[in-house]
Amino acid sequence: MFNNLIDKVTTYFSGTDENRSGPEQRQDIPRDQHNVSRSAISEPAKKVLSRLNNAGYEAYLVGGGVRDILLGGQPKDFDIATSATPEEVHELFRNSRLIGRRFRIVHVLFGREVIEVTTFRGNAADADEEDDDDDRRTSEHGQLLRDNVYGSMQEDAVRRDFTVNALYYCIRDFTVVDFTNGMSDLKKRQVRLIGDPETRYREDPVRMLRAIRFAAKLGFTIEPETEAPIHKLAPLLTHIPPARLFEEVLKLFSAGYGEVTYDLLSDYNLLAPLFPETAAAIANGESDQLIRQALRNTDKRIAQGKSVTPYFLFAALLWPALQAEWRRRQDNGDPVQPALHSAIGWVIGQQVQATSIPRRFSGPMKEIWELQIRLPRRQGKRSLVTLSHPRFRAAYDFLLVREDAGEIEPGLGQWWTEFQELDEKGQERMLSELGSATGPKKRKRKKPAKKD
Ligand code: ATP
Ligand code: MG
């Protein structure tokens, strides 16, 4: 306790935080030395910045918005950091709402575009006892449960995750402000955590996933000290609420770099906390070819501007777990269909302990899986019933992925490709050819099931 006090006093008088590595001198990069131009910033983001400035507050574009423009890309969204408190921001914008508990932020809404405005956050290491109330909370694992202590711009910079995410752009004088050598890391194309990596991962284990996401998306390497603790700390992700991890999984796999992301997650031990049963099945020899093929297709779709559905992604990511469990139940004597049905229930029950799966996604995911044993059964009216199933299209796409992954013999996918495009006559013809190819259509009498 005494030591703790001395630390605080030292920190207070030195004016710097000695726990943080690297030089943290403010560098102002003038407009002729960087390529951020106002025209790359959306109108709503510019509006929010100028209104805050005109009201006398400091306000900067920060995070992915600055980073992606500096890299010559198109930002996904715009984040703003300001000296105004959430209440003050809310008061300035009628079209805004206060959200969040862990981090209180303001969303300013312009049609479909949402500008996220955060107040400069204070430095965790400088937290006083009086801050130790409801504004900042830490768990027994060192995890920050709440972080609503406000501070200066420099403090805000070192509270951010990676140096390339802590660059600020000022629309008044067009400078980029850098406190953490983010510009140099951007040039080196590396993801570097600000401060002591282990401490920062313990504060928020999701930063490990974010490191992977940015490395994959930007094609950056993860700086050695930033990558070193990940293997060991990966299990900390099991302390994160399943709903937050669900959101993170979607971000990881819908940014257009799913396959690379999957490889990195596997390499860094991060697949197991997200998909425990899938990771276990793969470790036991189950193939992950279907996951890879599905992610490859997803990446292609995103590159073409198409959307991806969370239930399709999850159907693929949990497939190895389902296969293993389905087989296990059949080996125990369950017939194919009930074994599938109960394996599905079990796999979902296990998964929601790691990441939640909202019902609107788990329902369709189950249907995709259940249709996989209906797709090969095409005789008589069955094909037409399957074809009219609301989830037929997704199940058929899933079947094609299984074929492409080499999991099943090709042929069935092609059959369905043709069948769904034909008129009634054509379909009848295909069904009769099917009948003759697989022997007489006459139903065999079912033998009564043996009882023992
Ligand atoms: P994206 O392109 O995915 O939007 P981003 O860098 O903008 O990337 P956001 O999730 O939008 O990421 O967050 C905005 C900024 O907030 C980040 O750039 C980073 O500075 C800060 N931030 C977000 N999450 C964390 C976190 N878990 N810990 C510390 N800082 C964070
Ligand atoms: Mg962002």
The string of DSSP letters for 6-30 reads HHHHHHHHH-S-TTS-S----EEE-
Residues forming the active site: 77, 79, 161
CB 288 within 8 A of CB 295: no
Residue of higher predicted confidence among 10 and 258: 258
Q: What is the pTM of this model?
A: 0.88
Mean pLDDT, the chain, integer: 89
Q: Is 204 in the pocket of ligand 1 (CB under 6 A)?
A: yes
Interval 201-213: pLDDT, tens: 999 999 999 999 9
Q: pLDDT band at residue 356, thresholds of 50, 70 and 90?
A: very high
Interval 28-80: pLDDT, tens: 999 999 999 899 999 999 999 999 999 999 999 999 999 999 999 999 999 99
Domains with residue ranges and CATH for the chain: 2-188 (3.30.460.10), 285-437 (1.10.3090.10)
Residue with the nearest Cα to atom 13 of ligand 1? 63
Residue with the nearest Cα to atom 24 of ligand 1? 161
For residues 238 and 241, what is the distance between their CA atoms, to the nearest angstrom?
8
Lowest mean pLDDT among 2-11, 162-171, 259-268, 336-345: 2-11
- Give the residue, out of 104, 165, 179, 199, with the most ligand 1 atoms within 8 A of its beta carbon, to mutate for a pocket test: 165
The token pair at 372 is 């996989």
Q: Could you tell me the distance, in angstroms and rounded to a whole number, from the CA of residue 143 to the centre of ligand 1?
A: 17
Residue with the nearest Cα to atom 17 of ligand 1? 63
CB 323 within 8 A of CB 280: no
165: left (phi over 0), alpha (psi -120 to 50) or beta: alpha
CB 118 within 8 A of CB 103: yes
Interval 239-281: pLDDT, tens: 999 999 999 999 999 999 999 999 999 999 999 999 999 999 9
Side-chain-facing half-sphere of 174: CA atoms under 13 Å: 11
DSSP type of residue 447: P
Any bridge partners for residue 119, and if so which? 82
Q: pLDDT band at residue 294, thresholds of 50, 70 and 90?
A: very high
